[in-house]
Structure 1
Amino acid sequence: MHGRRHRWTERALLTGGMVLGLILLPVIQHPPFLLFALLWIFNGVGQALIALSSSTLLAEHVTEAERGRGYAAHFALTHAFWLFSYPAIGHGISEMGVLMTLSMAGVLCLLIAVIAILSRKPTRDHMHLL
């Protein structure tokens, strides 16, 4: 069961990253509101894939006694990245505009997802001792 969860979380994380990158690319074309709303629904899907799978991995690899600390560390780490990404997006919007900034963020997200896909080392027989 543990190995299957690892394969699911790996696919979900990589798919979520690709979805987040891909939904931002059409923004440069200034899509109509309904299409933009549909793209934003897929944004939520991508974020959910990443959030659920990362929480699953955390629960699988942290003992029950340490789980609270593990989730707190995960929360702090993700928010530390937001500390940099939010001002970067704001600066990009003020310099290049919303459409170009969101499209470039999509390209960056896709680049990170592709690097993760190309650099992964999947295993079939994966076990941990807690």
Structure 2
Amino acid sequence: MTFPGRAVRGLAIRTGNPANCAPDHTSFTLDFEPLPAGRSGYEFDADLDYGFDDYHRELHEECAPAISQGVLLNLAGAPKPRGYGELPPAVDPAELGPSIAVRVVLVKVRYHLVDTSPAPHAAAAWEVTQRLREALG
């Protein structure tokens, strides 16, 4: 059996508080979809176009990979990232083994001009993935 056994959509998380003078605001929604039968691996899709201005696009280019990294950390069995400071070491999706066959889609995201940074996004993505794993047993 591969993870996930079925599609789970609309897993949302919101952390931090904009305007609290800490760059810990996250707000995003992920869908987890099994890859087609016979395929294993990990795919991440964050091709959103909300008409981001240059600054929001820059945030997206920094934070979307952090979201992917948080999912990968959880799938690899790594502990939850601290959520502040530097991002934890990267996980190579090839290391996850044949039991992982998942496509993760970033379906919605909101960034705050001042209170957004990558590390909290990695921690929040780890948490969303953990909730999914616990729900699927």
Q: Same fold (TM over 0.5)?
A: no
The structure with the greater share of residues assigned to strand is 2
The structure with the greater share of residues assigned to helix is 1
